[in-house]
Structure 1
Amino acid sequence: MPRVLTIPSSAPFLPTLAAALLDGTLVEGFAPRADPLALAGATVFLPTRRAGRLFAEALLQASGGAVLLLPKIVPLGDVDEDALAFSEDAPVLAAPHAIAPVHRRLVLARLVAHWRDTLAKAAGREAVAAGTAATFALADALGALFDDLTTAGLTVDGLDGLVPDELDRYFRVGLDFVRIARRAFTDYLAEAGLVEPAARRDALVDAEARRLATLGSGAGPVIAAGSTGSMPATARLLAAIANLPKGAVVLPGLDQDLDAASFARITDGRDAAPDHPQYGLARLLPRLGVARGEVLPLAAPAPFGRERLMSEAMRQAETSDLWASLSDRLPPAALGTAMAGISVVEADDPRAEALAIALLLRDSLEREGETAALVTPDRDLARRVAAEMARFGVALDDSAGTPLADSPAGRLAGLLVMAAAEDLAPVPLFALLTHPLARFGLEPDAKADAVATLELAALRGPRPRAGIGGLRDAIAAFDREDFRGADPRRRMGEAALARARDLIERLDRALGPLLAIGAQRGAVPLADLVAAHRAAWEAAAGPLDLDAEDAAEAALARTFETLDGAAGDGPALDLSAYADAAGALFADAMVRPRAEPHARIRILGPLEARLIHVDRMVLGALIEGSWPRIAETDPWLSRPMRGDLGLDLPERRIGLAAHDFAQGFGAAEVVLTFAAKVGGTQSVPSRFVQRLKTVAGEAEWNAARARGSRWVQAARRLDDAPAGFR
């Protein structure tokens, strides 16, 4: 019988998994605690590399510090983010390798731009030159559709007859392009010796599943833990592992409290609820060959009973009428116990929310041994909280990392191309010159003096003429009018102006190629833009190195290397369009810090939060549009068309967000935060929060708000000046 287990959300996932592996609870007949060498024969699949490193630490702690030969720990990738990728050194599949995301984006953007221009000409209009960002957005959506088709095992022929004649012509035209683009892209990949990312991912997973299926009873244990098997290939791998003689699959937070009828209805035909947190697990169990009742718990839920509370709060809308008899399943005393550790922080705006969270995290540092984490899909909130913690002298371990475009190296890359695209207008130019990495070969003090003089002489008052020539003229005019005579202060001014002139020449050498492209006032090959962009960065900050100690600079070097090789397949752009597209070109790379296993406070993405247990869990940005995100419509296929093809509907992402939300309630103390206004407009609390409010009842909810209000008040008072202070 397949061996499938689960760990409730209130039990620490990785420590529980580690202890069960060592004690023989996880795999029958395998108890390596007494034989530290035996553990080396096991293989453990976990969702991410960071989870793997933390699991290694958990094993060492569970062993009491004894010397261990660790098992082979293989990262499955961010499974529910469609980014599954085995380690490249895993012996599962050689070439062809997957096309790089930025390379695919360029190829598909070129197809989209050509299609757009062809439609415009057919309609008797001139081709639209603007809208580069929209072109790249359509290219990304097209790539995501190709991934969905590959995951579902559909070919181009599967799209035939998908659009009835009564539908709008837009869908027929769009579907025709999807067919053409799919064939063209497939031919391109074959010629280049590459495959689509989803095809590579599925080939890796299926190859590993086949390899595991050939293992005999003498092979070591194989465990997969933390995955919900949301993709078919992943589900096949989990099924192969569950059926091994020494295999086991450990699911995160399977709901074992929901009544059988309601659980069955989650995946029941027309009534199926892809937005339910248990949808993925409910769909996975039949593929594993087990019923929910046959899944074994590896640990008992914590006594505060939060699993039952979330089971009721997140139940399917079609069964929410059962809330009328809630007290039969969740008596008032049990409800009060579950809600006792929950606080609700209703902040005025995102800044106040970030400050309240920072105070919560800092408070945890004041308590000996307490751990805490902020979990949020909102990267803006994460950055705000990190900045607020910096005022306390605390650097946070952020598991999600920083997008390359938001790192210091990435911001400099954006500032360089933006300053050139705007012909050295004062605002973008000053932002570029004051960037700490933009040294232009000068020592910091010399650069600061030169920038200060240039700002005073050329960037204040009337805007100088565009380009390097305008800066030179502004300095010359300032020299003639204000720096004549023998006054020593004026001679000092002459020296300062000389340094400003030198800075202008250095700026010319750095940005000259980009400015020359901008002066052409037309589209140029993308390769020319990429080469000029990289040259500008290196002239400003020094050579880029793939092995640089700074992770952001190494990531930027890799991105430029990829762009160098792929630019020939991208669309021609003018400098302004390239500046608009720069964010998309650097969008895929993430700069992640190395995991700190013993960090007491962290910022976590929702995926990794499933596996990391803390004493105080802060769930932030709980508003509609953030958690969950608004389900985006597919620009290429309508909702009925996706349903006819058997592709996942947008609500599937809501279900994943709901699962992450429910998993966050396993901590002893949970704090829910959201901002009443975002961007000056009234926000709407997350549907998950509203469900919890309904189930909790007015008295318990008001008590939770009262517990959270002290953090709101503390945030408001933090920047107040003392009485009588001037």
Structure 2
Amino acid sequence: MTLRLFNIPPDVAFLPALTRAILAGNFPADLPPPTLADLPRWTILLPTRRAVRSLQQSFLTVAGRDAMLLPRIRPIGDVEEDLLAPGDAAPDDDLLAPAITALEREALLIRLIDEWVVAYPDERLSREIAGSPSQAIALAESLSELVDTFETEEADLQKLSDLFAADLAEHRTSILGFLAIIRERLPEELTRLRLLGPMERRSHLLRLEAKRLADLQPESPIIAAGSTGSIPAAAELLKVIAGLPNGAVVLPGLDQTMSEESWQHVGPQHPQFGLKRLLESWHQAREDVLPLPGIETVRRNPSRPWLASEIMRPTAAAGGWRDALFAGRAEIARGMDGVSLVELADHHQEAQAIAIILREALETPGKTAALVTPDRDLARRVVSALKRWGVEIDDSAGVALIRRPLGSLLSALIDYRLSGFAIHEFAKLLHHPLATFGQTPELARKAAGIIDLALMRSGRDQLPPETMVEALVKARREAEKDSHALMALRRLGEADWALARDHALAVSAALATLAENEEATLAGHAGRFIAALERIADKDSDAPAADAIDLIVQSFTAAERFLPACGMERAALFLAGWLRRLPVRLPLHHPRLAILGLLEARLIDPDVVVMGGLTEASWPAQPDPGPWINRPMRESLGLTPPERSIGLTAHDFAQGFGAPQVVLTWSKRVKDQPAVASRWILRLKMILEATTTAFDDGAHWRRWARSFDSAEGDRRVVMPRPRPPVDARPRNLSITQVEKLMRDPYRIYAEKILGLQPLPPIGAAADLGLRGNLIHETLNRFSVAYPTILPLLAEDELIQIGSDVFAPHMADADVAGFWWPRFLRIVPWFIAEERQLRRGLLRIHAEVGAAHQFDGFTLTGRADRIDILTSGKARLIDYKTGRIPTGAQVKAGLAPQLTLEAALVAHGAFRGVEPVETDALLYIKLSGGAPPGLLVPINDLEVMEKAEEHLEKFKTLMRAYDDVTHGYLPRAAMEKEQDTSPFDHLSRWREWSIAEDAS
């Protein structure tokens, strides 16, 4: 059979050249130029839907018309493209069963996996699936991809059983047993349901079209252009078209200048492999392929395809590389005309540079530009960077639904339910920008802030919907009577609490249905989430995402016959997975810019092509045989080797390399990891260096990209030294605040002058401060109740007092399960030590307050315990559940709590305590561990001498702060360098400390 084959090299604009050849009339055969009335009889098949749209525009442009009757232009498809519409393919299309959708097939596979788990309970994989609801969903998605591979390459799934005969490891045999799900059960179910797999049905449609054309031999011209025939059924259709009287196939970028030696060594990783295999299957040589008529006059730079061919030269043919390169020095220089190689520091800088290149293209009227990349992270960064100039760019991949505002809100709703109503997930939901719950955005934000303060920072780790209102009412009561409650809560008025309560009622009502957990259909579970979503946010605020969500719900309804019922958790996980996978395409974008994936970029010919993300493991990606079958298995099953993916992306690179202006970009670091430039970049640079060919390294773009993140001059942040007016400075401090003033004066400035209070983190577990307060309160009550003599059943009495103190907090798992048992271990140790401490004791003064005035300043304090001894002296005791100061710190005055207390006792500052001198300082460490406690006396210390010394030093310090030039320095004497202050973020410590180190 004579085949009519043509070729368009990469340096020719594919679709305009095809359009001109058709309108000129010398293609596909010796036909007169078609009249406008003739064109609708023509049929043109292209690889992608984007190419179809572009060719339609090309006809209007080349013909110079605003409107005209066009040929019938349809997508024929390629590896990842959804192709012929069911009603389009052939007259007898109704003989074909409909296709199962991807979502429906995954639902069916989940049911089949569940059945396999029941049938094989002793398998290790079976136990893993049974233990995790998400396992079956992930496996169903993976199995679905494997089935697509078999269907696309038309390999026989039944051959999987042949692999059992091989000598395989036990785990591999187990996997092959699991694959019986797709080898036997899935085909059985599809047959019963009268359905086909989507790729299988596509292949049937292509073969039906091929048979129709072969039988009818239509006289109307039909052209297939731009396809490499990587799908077997598509290759068969191309062959039929090429053999029709008025048919032709136009190949994209067949290398007809490559030496025969190199051609023979072309393998799966080479860009020409697909075309070579196609021609060999048709028994055609490269010489049998003709240049498309008229292209010689429109070639932009024939040296560019030659250079691309040398970059891709097969390793086995490298022997002639040196001679070819040095003989072609001039050709290399011409090929590099209009090519820039730009290496950037990281993804952020690469995205900035690409955005600048694209934005620069807009300065020339009519000029078009596109970023071609498989790297979705880089694409998203470029989209964001272009918004600097208000430019919205068309991303062919769309935006994942979960990245849209409404999609992210639905995801937060799902996470809240799956976490068992965890407080962290509730915070994400409550503070979402779209979560208004029927309020105006301003009131919703205010109410959410109050609920946050009242319910999310108090040690609570869960917040079910039905408990919100009651919890808020309780939080209000506690805030009004607790002097230690957050200042922000104590400042709230009646109207604020009413607003928060109304909002909590709306939140609770919206989320109420999520508490249900009985089995239901996929659509039933999804309906609960959508009903909650509609009560949370206005869906019109993100209409494209709302449409996509409606599509998922419709698909869930259709999938019910494949997975009749399941639990809420499984349905939620399934829904969350499709939020991540379903793209949303936005209608508004700049008409002259685009971001294209490798498949979408085929046949598209902008004036400027930026090929971005050219690093190994990205472009090309590492070949992956998949988790189910290894390379030898793929070979025995007749599947293409994984390296074929490299050849496909290499072909995309070679095609893009023919654009008028090409910018190749890559990053030295990707996701904080060192990255290696793509093998094709390394080869090109090696060629340029070997032949001493100059090239544009894009230094100006790199410099402009860096300039966005650099500032003129030295803008280092210096250590803050706030110097408020003297009358604004505090005129009273507690003894515990004295150490803060000495170690971190800035903290006193923030708390006492600015009136700030650090907020506990959201979902913080009951902190160590609460543990200390509970134990302190228990021991203080015990000492107040028995100030002189211990009761007969001292341990029982202490436990009873502790039970009363701990009771309000026993709902916290840490308190009930960890701190209370430790307290019970402390009790016998404490009572034993207390019997010794009470020898020679007159009376205990517990939790007593003091006030000492000087120079218009008041030093206050509250002592854990003051023991008045029979010797007439005092012993000061401080209970510690955390770190205890060292003796050296106490003596140096860096931990002056007990010494200042001693000075105040001597000055009669403690209420109800006669002035006496102190001769003993004692810390009691109470951990509940092994041992449960520890007595730590401060020895070798003249207590009263140090007490008066420290009091005088403090007075001197406070007089210094009465000087307006004396500032409040941050972190003046922190105990350890790595210790943090709650106001480090306000003082910008990380910034100025680094700046000081750099200087």
Task: Judge same fold: TM > 0.5, yes or no.
Answer: yes
* SS of the residue 2:378 aligns to: helix
1:265-664 pair list within 5 angstroms: 265-266=265-266, 273-298=267-292, 299-300=295-296, 301-303=299-301, 305-327=303-325, 331-460=328-457, 462-463=459-460, 465-481=462-478, 493-517=493-517, 526=522, 528-541=524-537, 550-567=543-560, 569-570=562-563, 579-593=572-586, 599-664=591-656
Kindly state the Cα deviation for residue 152 of structure 1 after the two structures are TM-superposed: 4.2
1:88-99 pair list within 5 angstroms: 88-92=86-90, 93-94=93-94, 96-99=97-100
Kindly state the Cα deviation for residue 184 of structure 1 after the two structures are TM-superposed: 1.1
CA distance in 1, matches of 2:123, 2:425: 40
The amino acid of 2:635's aligned partner reads G
Kindly state the Cα deviation for residue 455 of structure 1 after the two structures are TM-superposed: 2.8
Kindly state the Cα deviation for residue 38 of structure 1 after the two structures are TM-superposed: 0.8
* SS of the residue 2:697 aligns to: helix
The amino acid of 2:672's aligned partner reads G
Structure 2 CA distance for partners of 1:224 and 1:480, relative to 1, 3 Å: same
- CA deviations on 1:177-199 (whole Å, 9 max, x unpaired) are 32353221112112222111121
CA distance in 2, matches of 1:592, 1:243: 39
The amino acid of 2:273's aligned partner reads Y
* SS of the residue 1:97 aligns to: coil
Kindly state the Cα deviation for residue 286 of structure 1 after the two structures are TM-superposed: 3.2
The amino acid of 2:679's aligned partner reads R
* SS of the residue 1:675 aligns to: strand
CA distance in 2, matches of 1:355, 1:563: 40
CA distance in 2, matches of 1:119, 1:658: 44
Structure 2 CA distance for partners of 1:580 and 1:676, relative to 1, 3 Å: farther
The amino acid of 1:392's aligned partner reads W
Task: Name the Cα RMSD after superposition.
Answer: 3.0
Kindly state the Cα deviation for residue 208 of structure 1 after the two structures are TM-superposed: 1.2
Kindly state the Cα deviation for residue 358 of structure 1 after the two structures are TM-superposed: 0.9
Structure 2 CA distance for partners of 1:384 and 1:549, relative to 1, 3 Å: closer
Structure 2 CA distance for partners of 1:209 and 1:475, relative to 1, 3 Å: same
Structure 1 gaps of 5+ residues are 267-272
Structure 2 CA distance for partners of 1:128 and 1:200, relative to 1, 3 Å: closer
Kindly state the Cα deviation for residue 478 of structure 1 after the two structures are TM-superposed: 4.0
In the alignment, is the contact (CA less than 8 A) between 1:344 and 1:673 conserved in 2?
Answer: yes
Kindly state the Cα deviation for residue 120 of structure 1 after the two structures are TM-superposed: 5.0
CA distance in 2, matches of 1:257, 1:140: 43
1:30-109 pair list within 5 angstroms: 30-32=31-33, 35-65=35-65, 67-77=67-77, 79-81=78-80, 83-92=81-90, 93-94=93-94, 96-109=97-110
CA distance in 2, matches of 1:68, 1:526: 48
* SS of the residue 1:692 aligns to: helix
Query: Which residue is equivalent to 2:186?
Result: 185
* SS of the residue 2:79 aligns to: helix
Kindly state the Cα deviation for residue 130 of structure 1 after the two structures are TM-superposed: 4.6
Structure 2 gaps of 5+ residues are 482-488, 718-999
The amino acid of 1:341's aligned partner reads G
Query: Which residue is equivalent to 1:243?
Result: 243
In the alignment, is the contact (CA less than 8 A) between 2:422 and 2:463 conserved in 1?
Answer: yes
CA distance in 2, matches of 1:121, 1:149: 29
Query: Which residue is equivalent to 1:718?
Result: 708
The amino acid of 1:20's aligned partner reads A
Kindly state the Cα deviation for residue 687 of structure 1 after the two structures are TM-superposed: 1.9
Structure 2 CA distance for partners of 1:86 and 1:165, relative to 1, 3 Å: closer
The amino acid of 2:366's aligned partner reads G
Q: Higher RCO, 1 or 2 (CA under 8 Å, sep at least 6)?
A: 1
Structure 2 CA distance for partners of 1:235 and 1:433, relative to 1, 3 Å: same
In the alignment, is the contact (CA less than 8 A) between 1:52 and 1:74 conserved in 2?
Answer: yes
% identical equivalent positions: 38
- CA deviations on 1:50-85 (whole Å, 9 max, x unpaired) are 2211111110000011642111111224x122x432
- CA deviations on 1:448-476 (whole Å, 9 max, x unpaired) are 33323323333345446421245334422
In the alignment, is the contact (CA less than 8 A) between 2:615 and 2:677 conserved in 1?
Answer: yes
CA distance in 1, matches of 2:631, 2:564: 30
* SS of the residue 1:707 aligns to: coil
The amino acid of 1:204's aligned partner reads L
Comparing 578-587 and 88-97, the one that deviates more: 578-587
Comparing 108-117 and 221-230, the one that deviates more: 108-117
* SS of the residue 1:162 aligns to: helix
* SS of the residue 1:74 aligns to: strand
* SS of the residue 1:554 aligns to: helix
Number of matched pairs: 701
Query: Which residue is equivalent to 2:145?
Result: 144
The amino acid of 2:711's aligned partner reads A
Query: Which residue is equivalent to 1:201?
Result: 202
* SS of the residue 1:227 aligns to: coil
Query: TM (normalized to structure 1)?
Result: 0.89
Comparing 434-443 and 3-12, the one that deviates more: 434-443
Kindly state the Cα deviation for residue 172 of structure 1 after the two structures are TM-superposed: 2.6
Comparing 219-228 and 316-325, the one that deviates more: 316-325
CA distance in 2, matches of 1:494, 1:423: 32
1:206-221 pair list within 5 angstroms: 206-216=207-217, 219-221=219-221
1:128-167 pair list within 5 angstroms: 128-167=129-168
* SS of the residue 1:506 aligns to: helix
* SS of the residue 2:516 aligns to: helix
In the alignment, is the contact (CA less than 8 A) between 1:356 and 1:715 conserved in 2?
Answer: yes
In the alignment, is the contact (CA less than 8 A) between 1:275 and 1:653 conserved in 2?
Answer: yes
- CA deviations on 1:538-581 (whole Å, 9 max, x unpaired) are 3334579xxx9933322221111111232453497665555554
Structure 2 CA distance for partners of 1:396 and 1:164, relative to 1, 3 Å: same
In the alignment, is the contact (CA less than 8 A) between 2:8 and 2:253 conserved in 1?
Answer: yes
Larger radius of gyration: 2
Query: Which residue is equivalent to 1:679?
Result: 671
Structure 2 CA distance for partners of 1:177 and 1:386, relative to 1, 3 Å: same
Kindly state the Cα deviation for residue 202 of structure 1 after the two structures are TM-superposed: 0.8
Structure 2 CA distance for partners of 1:440 and 1:612, relative to 1, 3 Å: same
